[in-house]
Structure 1
């Protein structure tokens, strides 16, 4: 199905449910109608709605989907719910045509979070029904909502993902005391004995990307393209923090953090395993937490980890963060089995073993290409 056909199918499905009588107290203002974004005015209203919604994240914001579209070419299927002229719900949704899994509808690709934001249950249900129609009409293998909390009654749970977040201290001086003893001691050792320093510099983005690619190869995972992070930097500006721990001018590890409203999230981390310095990452995060408090941020979100990823889960727990199951959900048209793109899939075992042995000159461009079919 080409792009025009996809949009026509989406428009037809949306029009069938537009003006649906969803009943209840929520329907008192006007009929509920669902549309695709029609222009800059709709996109602006969408951004404002996400910013004001209690569960809104940077991944719900249109800037994220615009960047994904620009860098990966995935087709937008975003849904907006209106009562009269008032926006009452959004579902950022994109079609991914995966070489490994076929056609997927994801909210949202490469995002930790996604799913429906709505004023009320009736609006949520109509957005879910419209998305389900899109999946059925377009032959999608799965419709995936990356919600923090499961909210759609008849969608299947996607188990195995954990979230890690907690409130930051009130003052920068209180950050040290909020850290567990072991990572605090490791960070101090890195700073005082190893001479590790933390720097914040947007110009380090490419260098950190190279560290990230090295780490992803070591973990037998694909890296996202450099162009994606450059595009995010161009759109987010000062809300994409570029930070690294270095010693003697040599980068040990680095991270790109997403800042949205009062929350900071380390989105990627890269490290050079050839350089010793166990406490460098601890020092980096300590410094970032202090900086976040200075800026007036209130929440540190360590993002998600797969429950079977003992290394990542253990590191975050060691930092004093307790895991919470994420409420990801899926609708599978026709009751078929959804595709399994998790690294733990035995189908990928041989490829993953080979991947760790390939030179970076191969894994960097190949990973960037493959990531179009592996939407996070």
Structure 2
């Protein structure tokens, strides 16, 4: 019933899918609760996945959905959505949490909120030639330069995982951010064989940029993308994104989601040049006894030293010690 409701409800996301429970609990050891509301016929009228994260480093809190941009209540009407929000807050209080964070694309009244982030979404044309004509001459030149440099882009599943993880873990070290374990991505690929795939841009067999993609209904999203910074002048990242947009059109998607950004940050400007439009992200909160809103993000000054130290570590070390930390970062 849960899966059927997700498939049939217009504004559902892939993160409402029940398959995440086994992936999250198996990899991160955090419990994912399925909250539901039923109608008079005892059929599901609304649902919400809610993950309880609990660690010595970051404390106890709930999120829908952590590690991703979207989540929150999925229902047939606003009253049911509000009932699910209240249910989630009561569960969070019962679990002894400091706060609850609900990640949504729509605002709601009566809850503390933050609009610090935006998502960047590009409506896709019906064919690649129309897309190419819509891109600026400067962007097209950068893509053509990458092709002339001999770069190639390939798509695949688990057979591309090692290449993706090599680039991704290297970039996460450079950012000073703990990396997820490779098994996390393998389990997603295996659990979502029709929705998940990988893009890799390489030069003479060496991966220089990589992206992990998830499709749901009419939208393709790239929740994780990375490139090797020292080779960015070759244009691997530009060529990869251009190939991904072509692939999205060929697969019949109508929108491409570049992921979340902070306004006017470098990532925001990169996504904007492709024609992507800004969409506000509304993150709603319940806090225990009026606690301040959480700041578990790299912009928090208290993490500045830890980030700098992480950036100095060998990549191989971060691959070993990163996953136990990353699982607790929402």
Instruction: Please classify the TM superposition score into its range, dividing by the shorter chain length.
Output: over 0.9
Q: Considering Cα pairs closer than 8 Å and 6+ residues apart, tell me whether 1 or 2 has the greater RCO.
A: 2
Runs of 4+ in 1 over 4 A off after TM superposition: none
Shift, 1:278, TM fit: 4.0
Show the counterpart of 2:307: 352
Question: Matched residue of 1:157: which SS?
Answer: strand
- Paired with 1:371 and 1:322, the residues of 2 have a C-alpha distance of 30
- Paired with 2:95 and 2:202, the residues of 1 have a C-alpha distance of 49
Show the counterpart of 1:142: 99
Query: Which of 262, 268, 277 is the matching residue for 1:322?
Result: 277
Q: Which runs of 5+ in 2 are unaligned?
A: none
Question: Matched residue of 1:242: which SS?
Answer: strand
Query: Do residues 68 (structure 1) and 24 (structure 2) align?
Result: yes
- Paired with 2:224 and 2:247, the residues of 1 have a C-alpha distance of 18
Show the counterpart of 1:244: 200
What TM-score do the two structures reach when normalised by structure 2? Answer: 0.95
Show the counterpart of 1:98: 55
Shift, 1:276, TM fit: 4.8
- Paired with 1:306 and 1:229, the residues of 2 have a C-alpha distance of 25
Shift, 1:63, TM fit: 1.6
Show the counterpart of 2:317: 362
Provide, for residues 96-146 of structure 1, a one-character-per-residue CA deviation record: whole Å limited to 9, x for no partner.
113322111110121110001111121111111111111222211111100
**1:181-330 aligned within 5 A:** 181-191=137-147, 193-202=148-157, 203-307=159-263, 310-330=265-285
Provide, for residues 248-280 of structure 1, a one-character-per-residue CA deviation record: whole Å limited to 9, x for no partner.
112111111111111111121121223354422
What TM-score do the two structures reach when normalised by structure 1? Answer: 0.84
Which of 314-323 and 224-233 deviates more?
A: 314-323
Show the counterpart of 1:12: none
**1:28-177 aligned within 5 A:** 45-83=1-39, 84-151=41-108, 153-177=109-133
Provide, for residues 201-234 of structure 1, a one-character-per-residue CA deviation record: whole Å limited to 9, x for no partner.
2211122112111111111112111110000011
- Paired with 2:89 and 2:213, the residues of 1 have a C-alpha distance of 33
Give the root-mean-square deviation of aligned CA atoms: 1.5
Aligned residues: 328
Shift, 1:372, TM fit: 1.6
Question: Which protein shows a greater Rg?
Answer: 1
- Tell whether the 8 Å contact from 1:79 to 1:90 is kept in structure 2 after alignment: yes
- Paired with 2:136 and 2:14, the residues of 1 have a C-alpha distance of 29
